[in-house]
Structures are given as structure tokens and as C-alpha cells.
């Protein structure tokens, strides 16, 4: 109750209506400057794909949004609420931001169903029966309802990643962050995960995806962000981005991966 009031007051000074608004973000790892004056605005319902060479800061950028990484300068707003290393009720803000990791990070000691209900029950305080109904709904959406009683290690990589997506969706997040969701998968499993993500995008979920799947980017992205050396070098809608990249480094990058 008190915490709600706290968040309410902090968000009262709403800076913008954007789902995610990143303003001149800077981050250092020791002396290494990973993010340099990054500005990025994501409207509700938009899908943004972030790409770039490894070490360009793209994972760090989306990990700053839910503060798995702390930034040193600049601001991040999620639906008008500022998230910063000083944010008190960080765990409450994170409930509205789903995240899917490269290595799935499912809980190996829990079944697929328990993986999905854990946070619903413990963070949202929802009763078991109701939580299981929600979990079943999302497991059906990612097309693995029949695996509910299994443990993560009994599933294939693609299945595990779809469970991880369902687990995040169960919290009914306002924004979904994907950190290279298909990079750890065998090639034949990539599409089953991408199909789920495409459906999610079509349903209007606000998404930020770090990925090198340019086919996916072409299909769903409202905007593609290219990062290099900790900066956003170029940002454009897919058609423009692929047909007419403005920056030399973007051209080199596209030349290498397409």
C-alpha cells in the first residue's frame, strides 16, 4: 500500500507516455565506457530490434532497463517511472518488465509449471489454482502445454526457451526484453522460438529484442537499432535499414551477416 503510493508519487511527474524512454544513458565497466549517450524511445506496442557487433553494448543496454546492470549517468523511464540504481522498490518495477535470456535461465529444480507459477504466487501473491490457470494459458500459447510436469533439463533448447517466454508472459508484463533469445539454440530450433515471438509481436506486445535474426527483424520490427562502440549509430524502419543504410559501419555489418 505504502509502496504503491511511493511509486505513484514518483511516476506522477510523468516525463512521457513512452513505454520505455532512455535519455543520454552512460555506463562504464571500470574505465571501459560501454554505453555512450544512448537515447532510445519505445512507444507502447512497438517492436524494436537491436543489433550490432559483439561488445557493442546491446545486451548491456537492455539489461539496464530492468537494472540487472546499473548505469552511472542518464535516465531510464518505464511508462513514466524512473528506474535507477537508487530506485527503492525495484522488484516491483521489474514485475512489469519481462525478460528472456540467451541461456533460458529456467529454474532446474522446479517443473515447467512451477517455473511459470513461482513469481505469480510469490511476487504477485496469486493463489495456486489461479496461478496454474494463467501458466497453462501461456504454456498453450507457446505450444508446450503437454510438458508442464517435466523438469527443464528434460526439454530441448527450443522448448526451454519457449517455457522461459511463457514464464515471463505469466507476469503480464508491459514490456518484454529479449537478450539474444536464439543465440544458444541449434539451428533447427530457432524458428519455433521466433514463431512464438512473431505471434507475440502481432498481438501488440511492446518488445525490445537483441538479436541477429535479420529475417525476424524484417518481419516484425517497427524500427531497427544498430549499435557500435556503445553508441546507437543508426536507427531506421526495416525497409530503409536494409535498403539504404546510412552509416558505413552499418553497411559493413550488414555485408557480413546477410
Partner 1 sequence: MSFVDILIGIFDGFGVTASVTLWGMAYAVPFALVFGILQHFTTGPVRFAVTSIIEFWRSSPVIVLLFVFYYTLPTIGITLSGITVAAMALGLNIGGYGSQAVRAALQSLDPGQVEAGKALGLRRIQILMLIELPQAFKAMTPTFINQFIQLIKGTALVSLITLTDMTFRAKEISQLQYDPVGTYTALLVAYFIVCYPATIFGRWVEKRVAISERTQGEI
| Shortest spacing between CB 96 and partner 1, in angstroms | 8
Of 108 and 187, CB closest to partner 1: 108
Q: In this structure, are residues 25 and 37 in contact, taking their beta carbons and an 8 Å threshold?
A: yes
Q: Residues 72 to 101: which contact partner 1 by CB under 8 A?
A: 91-99, 101
CA distance 131 to 123: 11
| Shortest spacing between CB 1 and partner 1, in angstroms | 17
Of 18 and 164, CB closest to partner 1: 164
CA distance 230 to 35: 4
C-alpha cell at 230: 556503445
| Shortest spacing between CB 245 and partner 1, in angstroms | 32
Number of residues engaging partner 1 in binding (CB under 8 A):
30
| Interface characters, 117-146, with partner 1 (x: CB under 8 A) | -xx--xx-----------------------
Q: CB burial class (10 A; 0-12, 13-18, 19+) of residue 199?
A: middle
What is the CA angle 73-50-203, rounded to 5? 115
Q: Which residues pair with 100 in a beta bridge?
A: 178
Relative to beta strand 20-29, strand 73-78 is antiparallel
| Shortest spacing between CB 220 and partner 1, in angstroms | 22
Under the rule (CB under 8 A), what is the footprint of partner 1?
Answer: 66, 68, 91-99, 101, 103, 105-109, 118-119, 122-123, 151, 153-156, 167-168, 171
Amino acid at each position: 500500500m505504502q509502496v504503491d503510493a511511493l511509486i505513484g508519487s514518483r511516476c506522477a511527474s510523468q516525463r512521457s507516455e513512452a513505454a520505455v524512454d532512455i535519455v543520454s544513458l552512460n555506463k562504464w565497466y571500470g574505465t571501459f565506457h560501454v554505453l555512450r549517450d544512448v537515447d532510445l524511445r519505445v512507444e507502447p506496442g512497438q517492436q524494436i530490434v537491436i543489433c550490432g557487433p559483439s561488445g557493442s553494448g546491446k545486451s548491456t543496454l537492455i539489461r539496464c532497463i530492468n537494472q540487472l546492470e546499473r548505469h552511472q549517468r542518464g535516465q531510464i523511464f518505464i511508462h513514466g517511472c524512473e528506474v535507477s540504481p537508487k530506485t527503492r522498490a525495484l522488484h516491483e518495477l521489474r514485475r512489469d518488465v519481462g525478460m528472456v535470456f540467451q541461456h533460458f535461465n529456467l529454474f532446474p529444480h522446479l517443473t515447467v509449471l512451477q517455473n511459470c507459477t513461482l513469481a505469480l504466487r510469490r511476487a504477485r501473491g496469486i493463489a495456486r489454482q489461479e496461478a496454474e490457470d494463467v501458466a497453462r494459458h501461456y504454456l498453450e500459447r507457446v505450444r508446450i502445454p503437454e510438458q508442464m510436469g517435466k523438469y527443464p533439463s528434460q526439454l530441448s533448447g527450443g522448448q526451454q526457451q519457449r517455457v522461459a517466454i511463457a514464464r515471463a508472459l505469466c507476469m503480464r508484463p508491459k514490456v518484454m526484453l529479449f537478450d539474444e533469445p536464439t543465440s544458444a539454440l541449434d539451428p533447427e530450433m530457432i524458428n519455433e522460438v521466433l514463431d512464438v515471438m512473431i505471434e507475440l509481436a502481432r498481438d501488440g506486445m511492446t518488445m525490445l529484442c537483441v538479436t541477429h535474426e535479420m529475417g525476424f527483424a524484417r518481419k516484425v520490427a517497427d524500427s531497427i537499432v544498430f549499435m557500435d562502440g556503445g553508441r546507437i549509430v543508426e536507427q531506421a524502419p526495416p525497409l530503409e535499414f536494409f535498403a539504404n543504410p546510412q552509416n558505413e559501419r552499418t553497411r559493413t555489418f550488414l555485408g557480413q551477416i546477410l
